Amino acid sequence: MITLKSKREIALMHEAGKLLAECHKEIAPLIKPGITTMEIDEYVESFLKKHGATPEQKGYNGYKYATCASINDEICHGFPRKQPLKDGDIVTIDSVFNLNGALADSAWTYSVGTISKQAQTLMETSIKLFTKGLNKLKLEID
């Protein structure tokens, strides 16, 4: 069943999404060799608190973190950990923000230091295809 959102609900979701994107822009420069995904998680939780939002997944079925963090070949929903990221790693930070009852959900993938040419090509191709699909969807909706 699909529930249609009101213009007010969509506007609230838009604000939550803007906050989520802003957080990812702030954590991007932090992601380099030596940082831990636990430190990233702590930063995200602090960011949320500062902006009056909460991590929606924290507490769900006992989950303890504001983010999920998947490194290299982990598919998704890995737990943040104290192991430092290494040069060449790829990390995905997944989070759901709740801002005044509106949710925004995303998973952004980052390269840590210098990654292999093959990994770089995979990331660039994935972004290109995602954008192409999103543009096609937008055309279909408009």
Strands (E) in 40-130, as ranges, are 54-55, 68-71, 90-99, 102-111
pLDDT digit string, tens, across residues 71-81:
999 988 999 99
Distance CA 33, CA 83 (A): 11
User: How many residues are given for the chain?
Assistant: 142
Q: What is the pLDDT of residues 89-124, one digit of tens each?
A: 999 999 999 999 999 999 999 999 999 999 999 999
The answer to whether residue 142 scores a pLDDT higher than 60 is no
Domain boundaries, the chain: 7-114
Cut 0.85: pTM above it: yes
Which CATH number is associated with domain 7-114? 3.90.230.10
Q: Residue 135 has what pLDDT? A: 87
